Amino acid sequence: MTHEAHCIVASAQYPIDFLESWKQYENKIALWVEDAVKHDAQLLIFPEYASMELASLFSIVVRSSLERQIAAMQQYLPAYIQLFQRLSVQHGVYILSGTFPVDSGGVIYRNRALLFAPSGTYDFQEKLQLTRFENEQWNIQQGDEIRVFATSLGRIAINVCYDCEFPAIARQQIEAGAEILLVPSCTDTLAGYNRVRIGCQARALENQCYVVQSSTVGAASWSEAVDVNVGAAAVYSPVDREFPEHGILAIGELNASQWVYAELDCRKLHAVRNEGQVLNHRDWSGQFRPDLASARTIPL
Active-site entry in 53, 126, 127, 224: 127
Decide: helix, strand or coil at residue 20: coil
Report the b/e string of 270-298 with b at 16+ CB within 10 A. eebbeebeeebbeebeeeeeeeeeeeeee
Distances (CA, A) of 111 to 79, 103, 162: 18, 9, 12
Cβ neighbours for 77, distance < 8 A, ≥ 6 positions apart: 100, 102
Across-strand partners of 115? 96, 123
Active-site entry in 53, 126, 134, 161: 161
Secondary structure (DSSP) of 236-267: E--SSTTS-TTSEEEEPPTT--EEEEEEEEHH
Label the pairing between strands 43-45 and 94-103: parallel
Best CA proximity match to 154, nearest among 43, 34, 253, 31: 43
277/283 Cα distance (integer angstroms): 12
Asked about 127 being catalytic, the answer comes back as: yes
260/274 Cα distance (integer angstroms): 29
Asked about 23 being catalytic, the answer comes back as: no
Active-site entry in 48, 179, 206, 224: 48
Decide: helix, strand or coil at residue 298: coil
Catalytic residues: 48, 127, 161
